[in-house]
Amino acid sequence: MTTQYNIDSPLKIGTRGSPLALAQAHETRTRLMAAHNLPEAAFVIEVIQTTGDAVQDRPLSEIGGKGLFTKEIEQALLDGRIDIAVHSMKDVATVLPEALIIDCALPREDVRDAFISPKYSKIAELPEGAVVGTSSLRRRAQLLAMRPDLKLVEFRGNVQTRLRKLDDGVAAATFLACAGLKRLGNFELANPIETADMLPACAQGAVGIERRRDDEAAAALLAPIHDQDTFIRISAERAFLKELDGSCRTPIGGLAELSGGRLVFRGEIIRPDGSETHADQWEGLSADAELIGAKAGKALRARGGEGFFE
């Protein structure tokens, strides 16, 4: 299937409607405009509401885990209502529908988590028993491993919603991804946490672009904006996640970094209550990214044993 995308037949870009998702879709459009010398009119941004956006009163782990922010967008892609889909890669399931492919990634943004509080600048400053809001099981488990005295409450919603909850005193602190804050121009709120202290979610800070496998015109359009280093890194991280059957129901951290043709991968699994952590580091050739990630996943799954995440 081939279509020539232009002003008369614009490329339809599917995205969630949150300010961050829209910022990522606009970045994609800007990069495509520059790469192909096309006007804005050659692109249409289509906002699609997802289950994850519609259901705000329950933890993600209760309503189905990964895929909650992508399922409806992928259906629109399969139905031909949109031509490409822009995703935060940490929200994307490790197995895609057969007819779809993600083979384009934008240059990765800051991978770190940010500690956000109107009163404190780091986790260590929080008083005993302080209330911290987060909807991420990974961050909850990591935090409980460091500070079992803290009280954790569910904190769903987009960046603006969570900041409003802090202002309303629902919690003393929360966490957001540095990448999202940078893309929204709110990085001044961040107290970045180094990855040695808090390993990020797999593929955090990475934006991937999904298309129909048989759409050669979309493939040709996306090729010039693809960042191979980002793609190699998230391939290792997603292979790790896949091996562990990682979803929003499992506390898993993983980060791959490249240096001179070699890839260093750090991974960890944590019991949901923070009582036990298994972490290690693996390395090899960057060409073996997926193999390294899968090997790390198998190793940690074996160490954790049956029922580790229960």
Rounded to the nearest integer, the mean pLDDT of the chain is: 91
Kindly state whether residues 6 and 79 are assigned to the same domain: yes
pLDDT digits over 109-141, tens only?
A: 999 999 999 999 999 999 999 999 998 999 999
Average pLDDT value for residue range 58-65: 55
Amino acid code (one letter) for 13:
I
The residues facing 100 across adjacent strands are 212
CATH number, position 135: 3.40.190.10
Other C-beta atoms lying within 10 Å of the C-beta of residue 31: 18
On whether residue 310 sits in a domain, the answer given is: no
| 280 catalytic per annotation | no
Residue 277's domain is classified under what CATH number?
Answer: 3.30.160.40
* Domain housing 246: 227-304
Q: How far apart (Å, rounded) are the C-alpha atoms in residues 257 and 271?
A: 25
Per-residue pLDDT, 2: 44
**247 pLDDT above the threshold of 70:** no
Reported confidence tier of residue 61, pLDDT bands at 50, 70, 90: low
Q: Is residue 200 part of a domain?
A: no
Distance CA 227, CA 105 (A): 6
Higher confidence at residue 61 or residue 20?
Answer: 20
Beta strands in 213-270 (DSSP E): 252-259, 262-270
The single residue of 91, 110, 113, 215 carrying the catalytic annotation is 91
Q: Which of 170, 193, 216 is the last residue of a domain?
A: 193
Amino acid at 286: S
Give the pLDDT band (50/70/90) at residue 1. Answer: very low
Which helix (H) or strand (E) element contains residue 146?
helix 137-146
198 located within any domain: no
Structural domains of the chain, count: 3
Strand, coil or helix: 81:
coil
Residues near 145 by beta carbon (within 8 Å), at least 6 away in sequence: 270, 274, 275, 277
Give the pLDDT mean for 208-231: 97
pTM equals 0.91
Q: Are residues 211 and 239 in the same domain?
A: no
Please say whether the dihedral angle defined by the alpha carbons of residues 192, 174, 22 and 235, taken in this order, is positive or negative: positive
Give the tens place of pLDDT for each residue, 277-306: 999 999 999 999 999 999 999 999 999 988
